[in-house]
Structure 1
Amino acid sequence: MCIRASRNGPARYYVGTVADGLFRSADGGETFDRLETRFAAGARTPAADTEPDRVTAVTISPHDSQVVYAGTEPSRVSRSRDGGDSWTRLEGLTDLPSASEWSFPPRPDTHHVRWLEVDPFDPDRLYVGIEAGAFAYTPDGGETWHERPPGARRDNHSLAAHPDREGRLYAAAGDGYAESDDGGETWRCPQNGLEHTYCWSVVPAPDDPDRVLVSSARGASTAHTASRAASYVYRREDQRAWERLDGRGLPTGEGVVRAVFATTGRPETVYAVTNRGLFVTRDFGDSWAAIDIDWPASLESQTPRGLVALS
């Protein structure tokens, strides 16, 4: 499951599922309607008789809330310019040279788009994380594609572009953390102090591109499976070594699945969800507080898939 919400214009939510396609709410989440698309699970094109795609990633352009991108399994990207009413597939992604190597370990005969991120400075520049196989991007709205630039990670789980630093991009991946200063064309991989390198979620400080949080574990099973979980949160500041944030009010370690982060853009404020609840920090990780919501015991054996935070 994946979820995104518009920050500008109508209060719209988009939720992608692997079994039932793509849903949209136009009333702030009170009700949802399933979108009729050509790529969503269960919706076949008239001439197609193949297994339908699964919706695995969705994002909204920060330049125009009517422009929505959706990624699927197998790896394809489609774009809507009318808020999800109609869709056009961006061709060429699976024509990239490494596409034959892409494979998702739990389902090794396929792969999917795990993350989509629109560049905040260029509406035509779209970043794509493939699980597992490549980081790819298009600089021209899908006319051309580029992949695996120097230093880029292969097993990409989440990407983030900083709203105030043109070109700054962050990646949390199964093969580690990476960051770029030129819109993903080259990457560096600062790992000093990052003891758990299976990274899942990444969020930079909205007011400081040199401060970043990641959630991580030693591997997939300890990241995602509650019965075997042992996950942690790390912070990096001003190009220094990573610091593990234990004992700050956010549960970490044994029994805790990897956190999913979200931010409203407010300085210092980050939300995190794990199988232990929903938490917020207002000092970028120095201290965390649990948000008082109903959290049934049954959720402690579940693994959160997405989180959005609205101001």
Structure 2
Amino acid sequence: MARLFAATGDGIVRLDEANGSWTVEPSLEGSGAQCVAVDPRVPETVFAGLREHGVRRSEDGGRSWVDCELPEPGVFSLAVSAVDGSVYAGTEPSRLFASRDNGETWEALDALLDLASRPSWSFPPRPWTSHVRWVAPSPHEASLLLVGIELGGLMRSADGGRSWEDHRPGAQRDVHCLAWHPRVQGRAYEAGGGGAAFSVDGGETWRPADEGRDRHYTWALAVDPADPDLWYVSASTGPYAAHGRGEPQAHVYRRRGDEPWTALRGGLPEPLPAMPYVLVAAEERLFAGLSDGQLWESPDRGDTWAACRITGEGLTALHALALA
């Protein structure tokens, strides 16, 4: 049975699957949790990123938490390396930190701030600042990192963050989500404010992937763990539709190889009541988490969908989702 951890913007919720439904166990209520990451080597170890209070760590599957004392309070992204267990935290204002000891101590990877493009980094709703929206450590090489600045670009490091290559050719500058393929080395994926892109050379260069979508404001991203040519994005017509209080005008899309993107329906509400903020792909299973807390699942790679049955108190919002 599967286990998911959700960051709701208020706290962390652990969801455990049993007998066709999901039980809910909330924690860190009132903390402002924005993001969540699970150690792929030790699934009971979970990290939560808080909007104003740094990083918390749980070593018992989210039942208790300790403060990891990150030097910056505003955390927007978290990741744990599948290779060596390094923990990465991205903040606003844009800084990146790494911990090699499970969040006990932190190293500031401030070479990121030496990039020539840094003076142009600016998040439109708060133009005086920017943040590290996504951190993606390679699952194959401990020293290889991708970082997305919202809004600033897609940056790459081949030495664990000690030096950086500025925005990569062909990638979207307004980075929303990044992913690596877990089994095929060198394959990476991006969802950004102007469309989607992919890389076959370890993030050095990127190719656009937009044919077939009439919506180009892409947000969430997932890749099939068995097939590097099968991936998914959510997309809307623009930021106001995606994040406002009206109709999101959004779809979940699927792409196979060089085929155009296809909008997935098959049971999903039409129109979608909220923006798909999160996509998570497991073996033959695909989850879509909407911003209003709805959780949907497809057992057949997006052909058909059903709402996840949640027992107890449901989710009212969903910012991030991690599979344990």
TM-score (norm 1): 0.89
Distance 1:252 1:84 in 2: 42
Instruction: Extract structure 1 runs of 4+ deviating beyond 6 A.
Output: 295-298
Question: What pairs with 1:51-200 in structure 2 (closer than 5 Å)?
Answer: 54-65=74-85, 67-200=86-219
The 8 Å contact of residues 277 and 319 in structure 2, kept in 1 or not, is answered as: no
Residue type at the aligned position of 1:30: R
1:190–1:10 CA distance, 2 compared to 1 (3 A): closer
Question: Please, which runs of 5 or more residues in structure 2 have no aligned partner?
Answer: 1-33
The 8 Å contact of residues 224 and 258 in structure 1, kept in 2 or not, is answered as: no
Give the drift of 1:276: 5.6
1:100–1:220 CA distance, 2 compared to 1 (3 A): same
Residue type at the aligned position of 1:279: W
Match of 1:272 in 2: 288
Per-residue CA shift, 1:245-284, capped at 9, x if unaligned? 12x1233535322341123x42x21211112611111211
Give the drift of 1:78: 0.6
Give the drift of 1:296: 6.4
Give the drift of 1:298: 8.3
Residue type at the aligned position of 1:29: G
Give the drift of 1:22: 1.0
**1:253 partner SS:** coil
Distance 1:240 1:114 in 2: 29
Distance 2:216 2:246 in 1: 20
Per-residue CA shift, 1:60-80, capped at 9, x if unaligned? 000123x10111111111110
The 8 Å contact of residues 233 and 252 in structure 1, kept in 2 or not, is answered as: no
Give the drift of 1:10: 5.5
**1:4 partner SS:** strand
Instruction: Name which of 250, 258, 262 aligns with 1:239.
Output: 258
Residue type at the aligned position of 2:108: R
Distance 1:10 1:241 in 2: 36
1:24–1:90 CA distance, 2 compared to 1 (3 A): same
Distance 2:102 2:315 in 1: 35
Distance 2:276 2:213 in 1: 15
TM-score (norm 2): 0.85
**2:321 partner SS:** coil
Distance 1:276 1:15 in 2: 18
Give the drift of 1:98: 0.8
Distance 2:181 2:270 in 1: 26
Give the drift of 1:159: 0.3
The 8 Å contact of residues 93 and 131 in structure 2, kept in 1 or not, is answered as: yes
Residue type at the aligned position of 1:115: W
Match of 2:68 in 1: 35
Distance 2:299 2:315 in 1: 28
Match of 2:7 in 1: none
Match of 1:47 in 2: none
